[in-house]
Structure 1
């Protein structure tokens, strides 16, 4: 979320004076606490437990972790992922499960927007992951129920993050987004705020007959 993008969204919300205004009078920090949100650590895994005969089998792919984005302003932007593709679903990334959250405040503890939802697709290649999910709860009513996408590059140092609305002004512009679609990971993680872990996908390559 660039500063220009956020300015456009804020201006539009103020002009329309609707309940989906980006700036909340109570502040997102209070809303997050009231709704049980904790943006300081990743959520617990929602992946289906392995059966006894597959106890040692590695899951097909995963994207986990939480971190804040680097900003030169006071903005406080956090992404959290807990996405998993079970071993038995290796051939179908759309069977991925898990959760995502993102929060964008004007300053730490200040006002802004937040959203969380369920993962509906996950693909990883090496240390790069692309995931999508449906927003199930947010303080921005215009984006609830829409699909958003994320891309993460787990560099082992300064990770990078991208999101599907980077070029369209806001998450409300991606409601018809196809599964597992996002932008290049153009943003970088703020040092010391966390990191992300990507488990490479075991691609089901066809075998010669």
Structure 2
């Protein structure tokens, strides 16, 4: 620990340093153009689409469904006046619709969210979206989702940030939900029991 700095403060400073280090690695690479696709071979943009009901072990009788329509949109969410003024290669657009019907009461909660980040690898995708309308979740909250497409080797799976993870404690030791960063989500822990998803992977575009 840095002398004179509380552990949580030191951790926060370290996180900020890591974030700026990441930004620094993205920008120079784009200038060099070393990762640019060959002319005539455009980058294939990633996407995730589909609708499915999942099995959530902690509420096994409830009906929980996610409908996802997300597409990569590299460098469309810039921050003017910064080194990432044009945005990031993980920028994305699209929508997420979520419904949760509680078996015991019949109550139904819904939410719609706007996708802001997407990254893929083979048959797996991680994305985040910001709640736009909901009767169950705070508008403006970012949520994280992960999707694994089975490809004949098992069921599709989905993970969501408010399910079993993403917990922190405040200065008084009280549990609080921390902010979800872009493209941050847990592993896809919940199996799909109806419907499914299609993950079209795409390499990150460097500029």
Q: Normalization by structure 1: what TM-score?
A: 0.60
Moved over 2 A (4+): 56-59, 70-74, 86-89, 91-95, 107-110, 203-206
Q: Verify the 8 A CA contact 1:150 1:161 in the aligned structure 2.
A: yes
The separation in 2 between residues aligned to 1:167 and 1:86, in whole angstroms, is: 28
Q: The residue matched to 2:180 in structure 1 has which SS?
A: coil
8 A Cα contact 2:72 2:118, kept in partner: yes
Determine the C-alpha separation between the residues in 2 that align with 1:88 and 1:118: 16
Task: Flag the structure with higher helix content.
Answer: 1
**Residues 46-93 of structure 1 deviation map (CA, whole Å, 9 limit, x = unaligned):** xxxxxxxxxx9674100110000125732100011000014787x934
Unaligned runs of 5+ in 1: 1-55
Counterpart CA distance in 2 for 1:88 and 1:173 is 29
Q: Which of 48, 51, 54 is the aligned partner of 1:69?
A: 54
Matched residue, 1:105:
101
Note the 1:61-140 alignment, pairs <5 A: 61-70=46-55, 73-86=60-73, 92-107=88-103, 110-140=106-136
Q: Which residue of 2 aligns with 1:40?
A: none
Measured after TM superposition, the shift of residue 205 of structure 1 is 7.3
Determine helix, strand or coil for the equivalent of 1:117: strand
- Report which of the two has the higher share of strand: 2
CA distance in 1, matches of 2:98, 2:177: 16
Higher CA-based Rg: 2
Structure 2 alignment gaps of length 5 or more: 1-40, 77-86, 168-175
TM-aligned CA deviation for residue 156 of structure 1: 2.1
In 2 relative to 1, CA 168–112 (structure 1 residues): closer, same or farther, beyond 3 Å? Answer: farther
User: How much is the aligned-residue C-alpha RMSD, in angstroms?
Assistant: 2.9
Partner of 1:150: 145
| Residues 59 and 85 in structure 1, CA contact (< 8 A), matched pair in contact too | no
Q: TM-score, normalised by structure 2?
A: 0.61
CA 1:117–1:148: 2 relative to 1, 3 Å = same
Give the stretch that moved more between structures: 105-114 or 159-168: 105-114
2:43/2:202 contact within 8 Å kept: no
